[in-house]
Structures are given as C-alpha cells and as structure tokens.
Amino acid sequence: MIQLSYKINCEVDDMKKFVVSVVSIGTLITVIVIGFFGSKIYNENNPGELGAIVDQLNPFISENEVYVKTKSYDDINKDDMYSYTQTAADEDGKTRKIMFTSSKELKKGHYLKLSNKGTHVNSYEEVQKEQVPEKALKAIDNK
C-alpha cells in the first residue's frame, strides 16, 4: 500500500514538472515571437543600429530591395564612415525611412538600389534612373 502511494505521488510530481516545462517553453516562444513582430513594426519608420541588428536576426523579415535618391550625408562617424538617413521606396512605391553608411561621400542626386532585410542594409549599388521601378521613382523623386 505504501509502495503504491509512493509510486502515484512520483508520477504526479513528474507530470507537474512536465506541464510546468511545457508551459514555460510555450511562454518563452510566445514572448520571442511577439518581440520579433513588435520590433518589425517599430523599425519600419525608426531606423537605427539596434533595429538593424534585430532585423538582421529576425526570421519573420524577408530580404528585399528598396531604392533611394542620394542626398547630402547626415553625419561622419569616428571611423570616417558617412551616415545617410533617407526615405526609401520599394517597387510598389511604399516608402519608409532607412539608414545606411558608406566609406566615401556619395554623389548627390544619384539612384541607389539597396539590398536590405528590414532596416539592415546588406549592400547597395548605383543604378540608372531608368532601372528604378516607376512607382519607386515617383515616391523618391518627390522627397
């Protein structure tokens, strides 16, 4: 009788530990997912270094391309990198702010295609005006 009672108590304790573990893991996953979606929404129009790092790691953000028309640089940091914060447009003409750096000063009024993942810019290349999608061109020429 005592052995049976002990065995039942052990099984109940093991079940409680299992349920607590599953709930804890589920809560952790939920917090992480909500954090990534929240950062995606926040970073859309709030570019910055921290946001770029989070976007780079965020599995819910896909890579895409946006276009900018270059302007004067905003700042030069201590490593002689030129910092630009500009309005960028995707091929559908949807605009948002994006921040990127360059090791040299960019010529004003030129068009760039930026490969990005959220606010994280992977690379950029200069393109001709004719290579910029019509809706994107309309959006960035008015800024």
Query: pLDDT (tens digit, 9 = 90+) per residue, 90-130?
Result: 999 999 888 888 999 999 999 999 998 877 788 999 999 99
In the predicted model, is pLDDT for residue 59 greater than 80?
no
Selection from 80, 39, 76, 77 nearest residue 61 by Cα: 39
Q: How far apart are CA 99 and CA 121, in angstroms?
A: 8
Q: What one-letter code names the amino acid at 62? A: S
Selection from 130, 124, 134 nearest residue 103 by Cα: 124
Q: Across-strand partners of 63? A: 117
Q: How far apart are CA 82 and CA 76, in angstroms?
A: 5
